[in-house]
Amino acid sequence: MAKPSTTTPSNSSSAPTAESLWVGAHLSVAGGLHLAVEEAKALHFGGLQVFTRNQRVWVTPPLEADEVTAFRAACASSVFEERGRIVSHNSYLVNLASPDDAARAKSIDCECAELERCEQLGIAASVAHPGAHLGTPRKPKDPNDLLSEPTADELGGLRRIAASIDAIHARLRGYKVRIALETTTGSGTNLGYAFRHLAIIRELVKAPERVAFCIDTCHIVSSGYAHATAKDADRTLAAFDEICGLQHVAVMHMNDSEALPASRRDLHAHIGHGTCGKPIFTAVMQHPKLARVPKTLETEKGDTPNGKPWDLVNAQALLAMAKKLPLARASKLACMLFAVSLLVGCTGQWFKRTQVTKAGQPVVLRTEPTVDEADVLIAADRAMAHEDYDTALRLFRDLLNDNPTLSPAYLGMGQALMAEGDPQRAETAFARAVKLTPASFASQFGHAEVLSVLGRFSDSIDAFRRALSIRPMDFATNLALAKTYLEIDQSSNALIFARKAAEIDPTSAAAQVQLAEAWTKAGNGSEAVRAYETAIELAEPSKELLLALVQAYGAEKRFEEAVNTAQALLLIAPDANAAERLGWARFRLGRFEEALAAYEQALTIDPNHWPSLNGVGVLKLNVWIKSEKKLDAARHEARAAFQQSLMINGDQPKVTAVLIKYRLSDDPR
């Protein structure tokens, strides 16, 4: 291994880089593990997270010798030769806290297999979610108690995790790779939302030196830890240091959050586009104890409207928070104009003059901003970044009062009006921008988006195609066209653009999801499943993605895989829909008692979940019919479930037909 540098970014006079600050991302291993390393090197990243295996299955084939050789060769003579810069993320199926002995044994086997692969590859740590205790769930709106000792259910789960880790360590004696337990949001019965949980596990295991931690910025904010100010963020990291020890952190997950703070929801967002705020990222980037810890992004792949990869944009946002650099006076104008170009997504088309004639007199239409106008545009952009849309709109209007042909102001106004939820007025602003500068990609793309929101899908498709004529290889436009064609049930056209988007960015989970939806509409279930599976390999699976995959497996009668996926979904984001789909898949496999347990779990989460009431009704109806209609209790339970379902959702003709067919509304004879 290369000898690590002892110079930290905080005392370096040079500008911080992703390599020097260990900033990177979770990258795809499609085509081979070594390709993720090659991509990280091409992006000049200094950190990397990968899936070393298929995340959707319990058992995976061992690594081939040539895979290991290619991976280690890719790391050689680069920053990734230094141990600790690369981590893996284990399967979401694993639940080391499960009270079920058989399920926990499968999880131990799966974790061992992952650590064996990491040991072969020279990966220093493997991230694992601590697990869910599966006892009494809290209501989704109940806040996390971050200060109290664990409840009895939680403590039992923490002890099972520690015992599971001891079993893993006993099986893998002498291994150097560490398990990195990740902070969580506390959804469902998931453990790890409180720093104390992680500390307890490490205290309980017999070989604590083999246990590390992973802090996810999105998770700790959604869990409820303070983050809004610099003092809040510093206090939160200090609390982790006191309780767990920052020296034991093996990896940081750098994600913003779409969810509200303390919401217990796990929804990742691009840096600066969520609710985490700048202080928590700044605190991490400037903390000396975290200087030599990989800081990996787990945000959505793809390109910005300006054609720049989101991973690079997010990484640069983090680097900007690592060190405050003075702005040279001589470069102020260049910086302002660059900021304006980011605001409007221009490619030079704003900077021109057009001569027209008005009332017989020549008039110059100036579509580019002056230095003073650029200042105002930047101020408006800052106001929008802080969601102060009234101020932004006022600034845009002031500019247009002085210069009614300033295209960037119309474009900014359209964006602000969209953010305020006023698509009608936004469309007018975007249309004006398009009229002034028809060769502007940003104007055409923004106009297309607002037309789609207004339900004017044919007009939206025309506008997207005009944007595509300017940038034929733009990822976002191809993806948007696929989505819009699906809105008007043109699956064949949707497939063309979804495939194109996937070709432009093979690492985009969003493109694969769109492709899967197009294949589903086209009636090709097997291709839909393949695309959903690829999406899950490319990014951390969301609740919506896993639910869609459960549906796709079911449509293809692959019910065992549907059960496994639904179980993983319940661990990640427990809700009534996930439990109901688990019950449905178990029912199709003839595992009726397990199906009933899943439906009842769904109703515990949401007593008014009518699809689960229907599931209970069908199961009880089957019991009554199989008893030759002698078990009146089962008949009563079926009737009660169906009637309650109809009270919640009266528009269910099939349920009404079942009640009539089996005379469930009648009194029993």
Q: What residues are annotated to the active site?
A: 56, 89, 92, 129, 182, 216, 219, 253, 266, 268, 298
For residue 11, count other CB atoms closer than 10 A to its CB.
Answer: 8
| Three-state SS at 257 | strand
Give the integer Cα–Cα distance in Å for 652 and 643. Answer: 11
Question: Which H or E element spans position 474?
Answer: none
* Contact (CB, 8 A) for 191 and 132: yes
* Contact (CB, 8 A) for 634 and 654: no
Which residues does residue 87 pair with via DSSP β-bridges, in sequence order?
A: 49, 125
Give the integer Cα–Cα distance in Å for 406 and 372. Answer: 13
DSSP assignment letter at 177: -
Position 10: which residue type?
S
Three state DSSP letters for 311-352: HHHHHHHHHHCCCCCCCCHHHHHHHHHHHHHHHHCCCCCCCC
Give CA separation, 114 vs 172, 232, 298, 338, 419, in Å.
Answer: 11, 36, 20, 45, 44
Q: Is 307 left (phi over 0), alpha (psi -120 to 50) or beta?
A: left
454, 530, 468, 528: which is closest to 500 by C-alpha? 468
Question: Which H or E element spans position 593?
Answer: helix 592-605
Q: At 495, list the tokens.
A: 């497939």
The dihedral through the CA atoms of 607, 612, 617, 619 has a sign that is: negative
168, 177, 181: which is closest to 216 by C-alpha? 181
Q: Is 61 left (phi over 0), alpha (psi -120 to 50) or beta?
A: beta
326, 434, 342: which is closest to 381 by C-alpha? 342
Q: At 397, list the tokens.
A: 């209007």
Beta 268-269 vs 256-257: how paired, if at all?
A: antiparallel
| Three-state SS at 536 | helix
DSSP assignment letter at 79: G
Give the integer Cα–Cα distance in Å for 240 and 215. Answer: 9
Give the integer Cα–Cα distance in Å for 546 and 540. Answer: 10
Phi and psi at residue 357, in whole multiples of 5°? -120, 130
Give the integer Cα–Cα distance in Å for 69 and 76. Answer: 11
Q: At 484, list the tokens.
A: 């819009």
* Contact (CB, 8 A) for 554 and 584: yes
Which residues does residue 353 pair with via DSSP β-bridges, in sequence order?
A: 366
Residues in the chain: 669
* Contact (CB, 8 A) for 579 and 570: yes
